[in-house]
Amino acid sequence: MTPLAPGARVRVRDDWPETRGPVHIRTPHYVRGREGVVVRHLGDFPNPEDLAFAREAAILPLYHVRFAPRRIWPSGVSADGLLVELFGPWLEAQR
Amino acid sequence: MSAAEPGESTPRAHHDLGGVPKFLCEAVDTAPHALTDFDRRVDALRQILGAAGIMRVDELRRGIEAIPEATYHRLSYYERWARAITDTLLRKGVITEAELTAALERLA
């Protein structure tokens, strides 16, 4: 898998594995289905979704992805940036 | 996307609390607080289990998240750890229900 470059536009998969049985996922509910921009590739790490069940874990790229808070919380009062650590398989590249 | 704010209409897990607007009204308590002996023992136990290769911190988190919602909100931070460690060790066969029961009876 080619790492996503800084500046790449991505969409977080609108997937809800927690509805299908026991899981451990590091993708917060509030970014699912949302668009953001890759800020940096943080490195490659064993998939915690598998480590949590003591399974063999693939090494996955981890990214900092920036989101526009006002698009997620339209009535929110904060204009702070929102930076979330997300693993590659959760991200779909956007044109 | 719908106009609903995060957490209102999505099937988030009960522990996935970040960004839920109803919690924006409650200030986060950032004051330092003292650890109890129980807290320290549970933390030490988790470190020993990790160093011994018996249980990863990811398994701890998974175990905490698997605590039923009502119990989850009733337990303290380190009580959740103790519950998750216990569940994990039972599931992996490191300890048995009989051993756990016997140990608890000795404490009673």
How high does pLDDT run on average in chain B? 90
Give a yes or no: residue B49 inside a domain.
yes
In Å, what is the CA distance from A46 to each residue of A28, A87, B61? 18, 10, 15
pLDDT in tens, A51-72: 999 999 999 999 999 999 888 8
Give a yes or no: residue B52 inside a domain.
yes
CB contact under 8 A, A29 and B58: no
- The pLDDT score that the predictor gives to residue A71 is 87
| pLDDT band at residue A2 under the 50/70/90 scheme | confident
State the total domains in chain B: 1
A73 touches chain B (CB under 8 A): yes
Which A positions 24-43 lie with beta carbon below 8 A of chain B? 24, 28-30, 32-34
- The dihedrals phi and psi of A37, each to the nearest 5 degrees, come to -130, 130
CB contact under 8 A, A51 and B59: yes
CB contact under 8 A, B7 and A30: yes
Torsion of CA B60, B63, B65, B71, to 10 degrees: -120
Give a yes or no: residue B77 inside a domain.
yes
Give a yes or no: residue B4 inside a domain.
no
- The pLDDT score that the predictor gives to residue A95 is 79
pLDDT in tens, A9-50: 999 999 999 999 999 999 999 999 999 999 999 999 999 999
More confident site: B88 or A75 = B88
CATH number at residue B40: 1.10.472.20
Handedness of CA B19, B23, B26, B32 (dihedral sign): negative
A21 touches chain B (CB under 8 A): no
What is the rounded CA–CA span in Å between residue B8 and residue A74?
A: 14
Give a yes or no: residue B83 inside a domain.
yes
Give the domain extent around B89. 30-107
Instruction: Write out the residues of chain B at the interface with chain A, using a CB-CB cutoff of 8 A.
Output: 1, 3, 5-7, 10-13, 16, 18-21, 24, 56, 58-59, 61-62, 65-66, 92
pLDDT in tens, B59-87: 999 999 999 999 999 999 999 999 999 99
Least confident of A34-43, A66-75, B16-25, B34-43: B16-25
ipTM of the complex: 0.87
Give a yes or no: residue B12 inside a domain.
no
